[in-house]
């Protein structure tokens, strides 16, 4: 985000993955493969399992049931899959918007485990396949607003992070959650570059992490996440700027200290810990008052007004009651 990027990078390396809207909607009706699966049934012996679990193959349908969580869907038209999977920020794979789609094929997503650590009763290494079955998968259609001034509407598939947090039982002393993402020099060509201190780390306050809108996502557009979008699992926090939503998570740590996040360490004046979407508080280099919706790029396309908390104020506003949001940006 520190580097000015081109706007033309919409190339997609896997044409077979492109799902036209109509086809995708039909699939949503037809395919209910893993949705509604063994919610909560997998916990016995969970932490004891190792990395034998195999990742579902690419192209696996994950279509989830429609979510009942308030704010979990929007009537806005989803961004084309081609744009959502071809115009990305994933600095481990390059700084240009088209780099992740071109380079992320080297990411090895199986086997995959997530380490749960810190102030928690049930720490351990949790296999991806068990995480997938922990709770019923839901479809959530969220706006994603990037601090750079563009936005998309993406149908994600996952469940509330709160489901996982409840199962692993954080201690009463846990006040924050730290999210650490994969940093593997062998498969991620830009890990080691000076743009950030690696790994990419993000954090949330415990009440933010427990909010039902905070999503642990395994898929989008009814299928497993493409690698460039953060396979095999990522966070999506829709009322915060996109960079709070860490991709390719490998560690979730419960702590009593506010986590030092990668962007805050790199440029503290530009990226605060909270990073709530707020049209009244500008980034030092970019106004946050309006945004460009990807896919509406014509010469005369109008910028949209950015909404407080990205339009999720009714759901999350009370988390910040009484806080000075200019100070806690």
* Residues near ligand MTE, by CB under 6 A: 1, 88-92, 144, 146, 181, 200, 229-230, 242-243, 245-248
Query: Rounded to an integer, what distance in angstroms lies between the CA atom of residue 230 and that of residue 236?
Result: 10
Kindly state the smallest distance separating residue 321's Cβ from ligand MTE, in Å: 27
**CA distance between the termini of the chain:** 17
Question: Whose CB is nearest to ligand MTE?
Answer: 242
Nearest-approach distance from CB 244 to ligand MTE, in angstroms? 8
Q: Are 108 and 101 in contact (CB under 8 A)?
A: no
Which one, of 285, 28, 246, lies nearest residue 137 by Cα?
Answer: 28
The least distance separating ligand MTE from the CB of residue 183, rounded to whole angstroms, comes to 8
Whichever of 104 and 119 has its CB closer to ligand MTE, that residue is 104
- State which residue, 169 or 282, has the beta carbon closest to ligand MTE: 282
- Other Cβ atoms within 10 Å of 292 Cβ, number: 17
Q: What is the DSSP-derived secondary structure letter of residue 170? A: B
Measured from the CB atom, is 195 or 323 closer to ligand MTE? 195
Q: Any bridge partners for residue 292, and if so which?
A: 150
CB-nearer residue toward ligand MTE: 13 or 37: 13
Torsion-angle region of 169 (φ positive above 0: left; ψ -120 to 50: alpha; else: beta): left
**Minimum CB distance to ligand MTE, residue 189 (Å):** 13
Least gap, CB of 117 to ligand MTE (angstroms): 18
Beta strands, E only, 279-319: 290-293, 304-305
CB of 223 to ligand MTE, least distance (A): 14
Strand pairing report for 124-127 and 176-181 = unpaired
Q: Which lies closer to ligand MTE via its Cβ, residue 46 or residue 271?
A: 271
Among 266, 264, 265, 267, smallest CA distance to 240 is for 264
Cβ at position 70, least distance to ligand MTE in Å = 23
Q: Which is nearer to ligand MTE, 176 or 243 (CB)?
A: 243
- Nearer to ligand MTE among residue 42 and residue 161 (C-beta): 161
| Interstrand relation of 65-66 and 138-145 (parallel, antiparallel or unpaired) | parallel
Bridge pairing between strands 150-160 and 290-293 = parallel
């Amino acid at each position: 985000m520190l580097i000015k990027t081109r706007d033309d990078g919409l190339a997609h390396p896997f044409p077979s993955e492109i799902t036209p809207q109509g086809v995708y909607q039909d699939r949503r009706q037809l395919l209910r493969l893993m949705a509604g699966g063994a919610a909560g049934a997998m916990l016995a012996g969970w932490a004891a399992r190792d990395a034998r679990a195999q990742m579902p193959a690419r192209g696996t349908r994950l279509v989830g049931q429609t979510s009942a969580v308030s704010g979990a869907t929007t009537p806005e038209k989803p961004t084309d899959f081609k744009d959502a999977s071809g115009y990305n920020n994933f600095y481990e794979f390059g700084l240009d918007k088209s780099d992740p789609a071109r380079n992320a094929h080297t990411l090895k997503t199986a086997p995959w485990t997530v380490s749960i650590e810190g102030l928690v009763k049930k720490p351990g290494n949790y296999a991806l396949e068990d995480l997938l079955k922990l709770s019923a998968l839901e479809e959530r259609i969220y706006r994603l607003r990037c601090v750079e001034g563009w936005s998309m509407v993406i149908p994600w598939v996952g469940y509330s992070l709160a489901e996982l947090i409840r199962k692993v039982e954080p201690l009463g002393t846990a006040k924050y959650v730290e999210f650490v993402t994969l940093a593997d020099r062998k498969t991620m060509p830009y890990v080691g570059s000076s743009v950030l201190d690696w790994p990419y780390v993000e954090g949330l306050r415990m009440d933010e992490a427990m909010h039902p809108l905070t999503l642990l996502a395994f898929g989008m557009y009814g299928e497993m996440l493409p690698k460039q979008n953060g396979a095999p699992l990522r966070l999506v926090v829709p009322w915060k700027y996109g960079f709070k939503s860490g991709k390719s998570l490998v560690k979730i740590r419960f702590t009593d200290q506010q986590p030092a996040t990668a962007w805050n360490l790199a440029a503290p004046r530009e990226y605060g810990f909270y990073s709530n979407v707020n049209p009244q508080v500008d980034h030092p280099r970019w106004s946050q008052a309006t945004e460009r919706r990807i896919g509406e790029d014509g010469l005369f396309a109008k910028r949209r007004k950015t909404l407080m908390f990205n339009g999720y104020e009714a759901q999350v506003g009370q988390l910040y009651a009484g806080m000075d949001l200019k100070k806690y940006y």
